[in-house]
Structure 1
Amino acid sequence: MDQAEQLRNIVKQQNKKQRSARVITVTSGKGGVGKSNVSVNLAIQMSRLGKRAVILDADFGLANIEVMLGTRPQYNLADMMFRGKDVKDIICTGPEDIGFISGGSGLREMTNLNKDQILSLVRTMYELDHYADVVIIDTGAGISDTVIELVASSSEVLLVATPEPTSITDAYALLKTLHRHDGFEAGSTSIKMIGNRIQSYEEGKELYLKLNTVVNKFLGMEMEYLGAIPYDECLPRAVMQQQPVSLAYPDAPSARAMLELAMVLEDEKKEIEPMDTAHGLAGLFTKIFKHQFRSK
């Protein structure tokens, strides 16, 4: 029995025992478009909707999530993978009782895992289902190998873009790279665009139509439009205060828009098959590893 088959068997066995946490991967074609802001505020709003939300920070080398949440984790994913820490050891508690996991260099080091480490990691990831209803992965910006690997293995992807021409161009570049990735299966991944720093509803819809038309024509891919977040002065003010806008200014237009997006996502959950092995953090890692096995 090869490693990929062993992973599939683990997933099947675990899915018979329990449901998987929902995994939502938030990404963007370039930095500076508010991706991490979206991740944090969505987690807070989902917590307010009664969901146990955990953020996994996969934006290596930066501490944006830590700054926004006002927390400094003692341990990260690499400590669990290589230094014997449990899942409960690496989850920090943030505002509104959301959880936070620092990726450290753990995801980047996955390519060097041996067979036993891979199987152990996948088993361990199922423990997260006891702590979370939804896991939001905040990826790095751009088209690095780690970002594309995560997005290609995800069943739900939120693509954050702004009306700036560079944001649109880079968002298309990310989707083009994703389309060419061997591990990407268009039918297994739902890609939803979020327009950020939008001046009006019409501008948000126009941004989506512009990008989706090009993506559909040249890549044969289809995106959905999740919604838009308006620009307001409370957003940069909250950033300066090192607080999520949903906490600092809960009645601000941007904070209300985050709540609406969370409510739409929660409504869509009813359509997700609970035993789909693509869901759950262990399921996501399994897809990544299976692709690595095929590539070797």
Structure 2
Amino acid sequence: MERDFENESQDVIAIKRPSSQERTNQIWTVASGKGGVGKTFVTSSLAICLSKLGHSVVIVDLDLSGANVHTAFGMSPASNSIRHFFEGSKTLSELVIPTQVPRVSYIQGFWDAWTPTDLSVEQVRHLAPEMKKLNADYVIVDLGAGALESHLEMLKLADEKILLSSPEPTSIEKTYRFIESFVCHSLKDHSIPEAYDHMIQQLRNHRHGFSEKNFSFRTYLRENSGIQPDFFDALMTKPLRLIVNSCRSQANTELGHAMKSVCYKYYDFKVDFLGSIDYDNAVWQSIRNREPVLIAQPFTPLAGQFLTTCKQLIDPKELRAVI
């Protein structure tokens, strides 16, 4: 029997929608240091929750090595993909494809590239303002794994920078490395080449134990000319948002608080811990059935965790919860 998702959405939440003049398109980017941590699952789930809150969403699949947002929604690959935008044969709005979820659409990623594909920083800088023109309240970008320059640039340009980790040690380590790469990439535009190279060498020395124990990014920048530390102040007002996925224990659930503390102590800026997402067998079962788990099972604790996460990201003044 077909699920009446529209009515379910209305039962879950009622919202006070801003007028068309007040609304602005927001870009959320979901990134990770390591692959296999559930970026597409989290991206699609955030989009579904936003639709339940009455918002329209377009997901942009920018996983260059394995675009599969279409699979998460039980759809076949589309003939037109974001490749056509970069080739100049289609506008971004012409590539928007509706899903079975009301108010959720997506743009097909690279699925027909049989040779390695990469994006330049310049291409990302061209893409971001075009995403702002899309007819949606939110645009969520599903990035591939790793600290590629194009990933770091897309994260830098986003209104919300969501960093995903799992509780596994390999993922935690790569999350810290990703944060370091993001900071360095963002500072590059604010530094002369000599100062930037000097900073990178100093960081290498610290990593190998050749520097003082209490080394701090911020302290180093303040004490050396050529780099403006204003970027750190910006990160305090629009911080990286951390989500820990596939938590199986209380220790896993609390891991985000520890990672937040480490970032504040070592990097000297705030990382916002949005929350943890529990491991749930229903997730892999829904993937096998090609149906999003939040549609198949919309009233589970897992769904509640994503709803809470979305409400933390959205201005709470917009919402009047009736759960």
**TM class, shorter-chain normalised?**
0.7 to 0.9
1:226 and 2:274 aligned = yes
For the structure 1 residues 45 and 238, does the alpha-carbon distance in structure 2 shift closer, same or farther, using more than 3 Å as the test? same
Equivalent position of 1:190 in the other structure:
239
Matches within 5 A, 1:1-296: 20-71=24-75, 72-97=77-102, 98-104=104-110, 108-111=118-121, 124-128=130-134, 131-181=135-185, 182-183=188-189, 185-186=231-232, 187=234, 189-200=238-249, 203-205=252-254, 207-267=255-315
Q: Deviations over 1:9-32 (max 9, x none)?
A: xxxxxxxx8853111111111011
RMSD: 2.7
Alignment CA distance shift 1:59-1:256 (3 Å): same
The total of aligned residue pairs comes to 246
Change over 3 Å in CA distance of 1:252–1:236 after alignment to 2: farther
1:48 is displaced (CA, Å) by 1.2
Deviations 1:181-236 (A, max 9, x none): 1248341542111121123556323x112212222222222111111111122112
Name the structure, 1 or 2, with higher relative contact order (CA <8 Å, separation 6+): 1
Per the TM alignment, residue 151 of structure 1 is displaced from its structure 2 partner at its CA by 1.5
Superposed CA offset, 1:105-124 (max 9, x none): 8x9445576xxxx87x6775
2:216 equivalent in structure 1: none
Q: Is 1:195–1:228's contact at 8 Å kept on the other side of the alignment?
A: yes
Distance 1:60 1:139 in 2: 8
Distance in 1 (CA, whole Å) between partners of 2:277 and 2:173 is 20
Structure of larger gyration radius = 2
CA distance in 2, matches of 1:148, 1:44: 25
Contact 2:286–2:293 (CA under 8 A) maintained in structure 1:
yes
Cα contact 1:29–1:141 (8 A) shared by 2: yes
Distance of aligned partners of 1:170 and 1:52 in 2 relative to their CA distance in 1, 3 Å threshold: same
Does structure 2 conserve the Cα–Cα contact (< 8 Å) formed by 1:152 and 1:183? no
**Is the helix fraction higher in 1 or 2?**
1
Equivalent residues of 1:245, 1:254 under 8 A apart: no
**Structure 2: which 5+ residue stretches go unaligned?**
1-20, 191-230, 319-323
Distance 1:266 1:111 in 2: 28
Work out the CA distance in 2 between the residues paired with 1:61 and 1:81.
16
Q: Once the 2 structures are TM-superposed, how far is the Cα of residue 127 of structure 1 from its aligned partner?
A: 3.0
Cα pair 2:121 2:150 within 8 Å, conserved:
no
The TM-score, its normalising length taken from structure 1, stands at: 0.74
Change (3 A) 1:265 1:112: closer
> What's the counterpart of residue 283 of structure 1?
none
Query: Which residue pairs with 1:284 in the alignment?
Result: none
How many percent identity over aligned positions? 29
Are the counterparts in 1 of residues 152 and 182 from structure 2 also a CA contact under 8 Å?
Answer: yes
Does the Cα contact within 8 Å between 2:27 and 2:132 map onto a contact in 1?
no
Q: Is the 8 A contact 2:165 2:171 kept in 1?
A: yes
Whether contact under 8 Å (2:256, 2:276) holds in the other structure is no
1:43-72: CA deviation from partner (whole Å, max 9, x where unpaired): 011011100011011111213212111232
Name structure 1 gaps, 5 residues minimum. 1-16, 271-296
Instruction: Give the Cα separation in 2 of the matches to 1:81 and 1:19.
Output: 28
2:120 and 2:149 in contact (8 A); partners too = no
Q: Is the 1:148–1:178 contact (alpha carbons within 8 Å) kept by the matching residues of 2?
A: yes
Give the deviation of 1:93 after TM superposition.
0.6
Give the 3 Å change call, closer, same or farther, for CA 212–124 of structure 1 in structure 2.
closer
